[in-house]
Amino acid sequence: MAKFIPVEAFDIVIFGGTGDLSKRKLLPALYHRWADGQIPESTNIIGVSRSAMSDDEFSEFAFEACDEATEDSIKREEWDAFRKHLHFISMDATDPKADWKALKKLLNRKEDRPCIFYLAVTPKIYVPICNALGQAGLADNDSRIVLEKPIGTDLASARAINEGVGAVFPEECIYRIDHYLGKETVQNLMVLRFANSLFEPMWNRTAIDHIQITVAEHYGVGDRAGYYDGSGALRDMVQNHILQLLCLIMMEPPNSIDGDAIRVEKIKVMQALRPVTADVANETTVRAQYAEGAVNSKAVPGYIEELGHDSQTETFVAIKTFVDNWRWARVPIYLRTGKRLRKRHSEIVVQFRPTPVDMFGSESAQSNRLVINVQPDEGVKLFLQIKEPGPGGLRIRSLPLNLSYGDNFLVRYPDAYERLLMDVVRGNLSLFIRREEVEAAWSWVDGLLAAWDQADAPMRSYPAGLSEGPIESQMLLKSDNREWWKVSE
């Protein structure tokens, strides 16, 4: 049975309190955990933003946000109980001379309780806000700072942020969020690998043929086009979410589930990731943009039309890479992600090698495959070869042992931010990213961007809403006699 273990009372300050992330994720996550009885009475949730707003207006803003994110509408009496936790302060948090006293008054600094500063703002102002917090005397032992992705746009800017924030807060107080790590199925990757003795002996180049990681989205860039155009699929999704999934799948067993033990192993994977150089860039990667297409039989515009000007930003990327270490030598890893694909689905496919002898005839022979559905239809499928019953010769079918979350667990499915926010309160760093990880990921991504540049990598195209990406992405695997695992309808 799932049960919520209450956390200690805390204060959380959301810089960017009236922004998109606060509205879509943070306030609803806090509300849900409060409704589940996990958040104690004296907890304070303080929105900070430059916009002028009263406490009541902020509460109304939060109500709409939480109501929208909740299946049944929130009852007003219930909201009145929750709203007591909410406060709002209008200030420019980059300015050390702003009215920090007003904020300090709301914080229970004398009590020994966690004080969380969540930076839900553009990364450009992470360092100025941290400096201002330091000058206001708010960076002490009880303080924790949460940084949203993206941390920078390349290695240099990420380093500058890490150094600037690190000058005010020690590393053990810095919580770098990648919300994929808070997803139930992603947390399950470690359990699947290390709580089952079945997989570990086979988890290597002798038994595994290749690995695929897909994060496909059905939505286009919509009103985030301004941010997205300066980023693209590689920076927006691969640098963080996809490389994190890759690390969890490919890392060595950590000594414990302690945050640092895990993070040390993830860094080793990042460091062993083979750089993409200009001479192989066009052969091992594909970048593309969505063109006009259709969603639910209705025409939808292409990326350029949505944006309103020309652009060389990719909305899709596919990459063939390797982790050059003893365990994974010569095992290809295929990564792909894109917007406006046919279907939203994220999954990891571990394809095992064929049996050494094909006793039953090659037509029916397929190799074992482990498919981890990250979202939606969360679950794990292990495909085995089974004899089809009945007459008509020996027929073999590949069928899954199917462990569906939906069928097995009847709990409310929590959003990733809920778990992550509660982990910040508990001081548990396991699902957060260490400085070296961010920098190693950027270093690899920077190399790939430079390789695209030097190799003049072509921009391919795919019809919005109708495909799994450009044909070249299929060719990437076809040239290795492999194919992407087919997404079910």
List active site positions. 241
Nearer to ligand BG6, 236 or 314 (CB): 236
Check if the beta carbon of residue 180 is closer than 8 Å to that of residue 415.
no
Shortest distance, CB of residue 392 to ligand BG6, whole angstroms?
44
Q: Which helix (H) or strand (E) holds 387?
A: strand 379-387
Q: Does 306 bind ligand BG6 (CB under 6 A)?
A: no
Shortest distance, CB of residue 381 to ligand BG6, whole angstroms?
20
Nearer to ligand BG6, 236 or 306 (CB): 236
Of the chain, the end-to-end C-alpha distance in Å amounts to 32
Nearer to ligand BG6, 132 or 341 (CB): 341
Nearer to ligand BG6, 217 or 423 (CB): 217
Taking the mean position of all CA atoms in its chain, how far away is CA 364? 37
Nearer to ligand BG6, 236 or 437 (CB): 236
Shortest distance, CB of residue 339 to ligand BG6, whole angstroms?
7
Shortest distance, CB of residue 233 to ligand BG6, whole angstroms?
8
Q: In the range 144-173, which residues lie near ligand BG6 by CB under 6 A?
A: 149
Shortest distance, CB of residue 305 to ligand BG6, whole angstroms?
19
Question: Residue number with the shortest CB distance to ligand BG6?
Answer: 236
User: Is 91 exposed, middle or buried, given 0-12, 13-18 or 19+ CB atoms closer than 10 A?
Assistant: middle
Position among 217, 378, 437, 468 found at the interface with ligand BG6 (CB under 6 A): 217
List the one residue out of 214, 209, 184 whose CA is nearest residue 331.
209
Check if the beta carbon of residue 375 is closer than 8 Å to that of residue 186.
no
Shortest distance, CB of residue 149 to ligand BG6, whole angstroms?
6
Size of the site for ligand BG6 (CB under 6 A): 3
User: Is 272 exposed, middle or buried, given 0-12, 13-18 or 19+ CB atoms closer than 10 A?
Assistant: middle
Q: Rounded CA gap, 179 and 148, in Å?
A: 9
Query: Contact letters (x/-) for ligand BG6, 219-248, by CB under 6 A?
Result: -----------------x------------
DSSP code for 103: H
Query: Contact letters (x/-) for ligand BG6, 11-50, by CB under 6 A?
Result: ----------------------------------------
List the one residue out of 434, 437, 446 whose CA is nearest residue 157.
446
List the one residue out of 245, 259, 267 whose CA is nearest residue 193.
245
Nearer to ligand BG6, 19 or 134 (CB): 19
Quickly count: other Cβ atoms within 10 Å of residue 385's Cβ: 15
Rg (CA), the chain: 24
Q: Rounded CA gap, 102 and 90, in Å?
A: 10
- Residues near ligand BG6 (CB under 6 A): 149, 217, 236
